Amino acid sequence: MGPAISEILPYALGIAISPIPIIGVILILFSSRARVNGPAFLLGWVIGLSLVCLVVTAFASALDVGTDSSASDGASTFKVVLGILLILGAIRNWRSRPAPGAEVELPKWMATIDSFTPVKALGLGALFSGLNPKCLIFGAAAAATVAQANLSSSDTVITLAVFIVLSSLTIIIPVAYHLIGGEKAKTTLEGWKAWLSANNAAVMAVLFLVFGVVLLSQGLGPITA
C-alpha cells in the first residue's frame, strides 16, 4: 500500500493546486450563505472525486490490470495518452496566459455564486471534481495506478481515501479557515483569490507540463521494459 500511495501523491497535488476550484470555493465563502454553501461545496467536491476514483478503479479491476499483463499494458498506455493530453494542455495554457498587468476576466458564472442555494453549491463542487477535465485526468490516473498495484480491497479503499483527502486539502482549508478565522480570514482569502486569478494560466501550464511528464514516464516504463 505504501508504494501505491507514494505513486499517487503527485496526482493528488495536481488536483489540490488547481486554481479555478480554489477560486470557486473562495467566492462561495464570500457569498451570503457562506456558512452553509462552503461545506456543501466541499461535500460535492468529495462526492465527485470519489465517484471518479471508484468508477475507474472498478473498471480497471474488472480488467485485472494488476495481474493480467496485457491489461496492465493497456493501463500504462492509458497513462501515456493522459500524459500527452496534459502536455498539450500545458502548451495551450501557456499561450493563453494574460500579458503582465492585463486585467483577468473570470468566468461569467462566478458572478451568480452569491445567489447559490446549498444544492447548487454541492452540485458545483461535484462538477469541479467529477467532470472538470483537469481533475478527471489526475483522478483517473491515480485510480489506474491503484488498480495496477493489485492491492486488497481494504488497502485499495484506504489508498483512495488518502488520495481524496490530500486532493481536497485546498478546499478543506479555506472552508475551515473561513468558519474559524473571522474577518482576518476574508482578507487572506481575498489575497489568495486575486493571486490565483492573475496567475491561473501560468500555474496550470506548469502543472500540466510537470505531471504530463510524470504520467509519460510512469506509462512508458512498463511498456518499454
**Cell 476576466 belongs to which residue?**
105
Nearest to 17, CA basis, from 202, 130, 167? 167
3-state helix, strand, coil in the chain (%, to 5): 85, 0, 15
In this predicted structure, the answer to whether residue 224 has a pLDDT above a threshold of 60 is yes
The helix-helix angle for 69-95 and 133-148 (nearest 10°) equals: 160
Q: Tell me, what's the pLDDT at 4? A: 80
Asked if 139 and 49 touch (Cβ cutoff 8 Å), the reply is: yes
Q: What is the mean pLDDT of the chain?
A: 80
Cβ proximity of 83 and 219 under 8 Å: yes
* Residue predicted with more confidence, 62 or 128: 128
Q: Which three cell numbers stand for residue 93?
A: 495554457
82-95 core/surface letters (b: 16 or more CB in 10 A; e: else): bbeebbebbeebee
More confident residue, 202 or 117: 117
Residue type, 119: V
Confidence at residue 140, expressed as pLDDT on a 0 to 100 scale: 82
Which range has the top average pLDDT, 47-56, 67-76, 99-108, 196-205?
A: 47-56
Residue 118 class from Cβ within 10 Å (0-12 exposed, 13-18 middle, 19+ buried)?
middle
